[in-house]
Structure 1
Amino acid sequence: MTLSVMFGARATSWSDITGLLDGSLDTMAEAAVASRLPRTLLATMAGAALGVSGAAMQGLTRNPLADPGLLGVNAGAALAVVIGIAWFGIELASDYLWLAIVGAGVSAVVVYLIASLGRGGATPLRLALSGAVVSAALSSLTSAIILPRADIGGLIQSWLIGGVGGATLDQITPALPFVISGLLICGLSARKLNMLALGDDMASGLGERVALVRLMAALGAILLCGGITAVCGPIAFVGLVVPHICRLVVGSDYRWVVPLSALAGALLLTSADIAGRLIARPAELDVGIMTALVGAPVFLWIVRRHKVKSL
């Protein structure tokens, strides 16, 4: 977080950061530091939320490829926000939040229902395929809505890339209750996700209410995805990469994976934002581009490691 505040288009020093403690904004460097504080807070919050939501989704679906982006949840949230902007003229961040959460929830339900069709129910492979299909369909609908609207097209296209640039406290504050609630729900679900990893029959035999556990974990993940997507736009691969890294460190116990995913997600997204600013300096690359550059090779590694064809 300190590095995120220091690095950007304008070079700053430690004295510029400490100068803010007395409210000083006398120099351009101090003003630059002040403008980076909300951005850093948003990157940290978004990374933590996406990391935990990915861990929760992988736990409740028992699918190593589960991720808000790959399962269509981000695409559903984005489509809902775009519809609100393009058709209803919604401008307030608080309204974006509700739209994004509803869109994320509807998309998650549709993916699960499609994957449940036929024999065998919602297997990991079917969930991944259904999520990919729904995500592609929703992204196409989003593009179809944006293309005829030259008045809002540029703004929405920039938002759809996913980024934390230009963040303000007024944007972050409305999302905080949703993110905190989602983190708490996923944290409380961690022990129960360990039971789900044993299989539905075994979990039921041990006294767990499987449907309620899945609903609880899904609610937490949807609150996190919807809240962050409304503020940052859809950011892919964080929820996929982070839980796998955490499992390499602490094993498969979700009581450790979930909280560590919050820390690792915050670290990954904040570092990606810093790298995006340094690579294209004095311009910058949005964090959504940087996470895609990191996440795509990791996705291929995960597919190869888990031999998805055998699922």
Structure 2
Amino acid sequence: MSLAASVQDRFRGMPSGFSKYWPGFAVTAAVAVAAQFLSDHYGAPAMLMALLLGIAFHFLSEEGRCVAGIDFCSKKVLRVGVALLGMRISVDLLIGLGASTILLLVSAIVATIGFGLLAAKLLGRGWRLALLTSGSVAICGASAAMAIAAVLPKNEFSERNLIFTVLSVTVLSTLAMIAYPILAQSMGLDARATGIFFGGTIHDVAQVVGAGFSVSPEAGETATLVKLIRVTMLAPVVLTYSVVLRNVPQGEGETGKRPPLLPGFVVAFLVLAALNSFGVIPEAVAKAGSEASRWALLAGIVAVGMRTSLRRVLDVGGDAVALIVAETLFIAAFILVGIHYLGHA
């Protein structure tokens, strides 16, 4: 008996649900591991590698035994990853940063989302793309994009817009990691101001850490702390989107159910953040949860990539690129002006 046949026989004895999902789950996990390997050994962003590799395996999501498992990972596993982000959050983070800096970050998030909606209208793009891109730019890049996409009403362009947004914020984060330290030095920002600038503007956590510690340990620690505060804003923003969009009439061509009033993964995020704030979650468990979140998000973006063809992503148009670049420049300018008025520059 061949190895493949032996494996198939073993899984036939498993529950029907498991045998239905395991092929797609297994291939998604394997591609996620490959993406992490490339990131560890060649310095490329893991999310970007996961996305590109996922797109390369798009054919697996069209038909065959992997379809159900890939769909499961693109939805359920992804949302588990977002929920587990709550283990990174605690009230101590908020207290340590100071009221004025927190106010600056909240204002930047609200202003960026508002700017995104206005810019999208001027460019003739829809509000779904505006909320998705501006929310991901304002909060935490790819993770925010995936969380926001989970509560937006679906239409025929939903997956294409999600892939475009994840790809764009990942590339822009990488460029910012290189360019922003040069900009901060040329502006004469001190270590704390530099950390606030990086943490308040760069989209993804890994690039924030890389940019911050490339300047100094103090800048790196401040940047990481500020970034985690932005991650904290994910739950209230997603909840607000969910509540507001329940009152929006279904548009033509829109499919699927309306998002729930309070998505389960947002509830889990808030509960875990509260437990972590009260010190209920042991440090080792919180660390393991954070690592599990990273892998779940990585597998989720692999699956999302598999479900979307590159041709459809390229069809999004230059005005969408202009939109997300404009949002990125807007939040950078907003934070720099705020830093100036806080007296750090």
Q: TM-score range by the shorter chain?
A: 0.3 to 0.5
TM-score between the two structures when normalised by the length of structure 2: 0.31
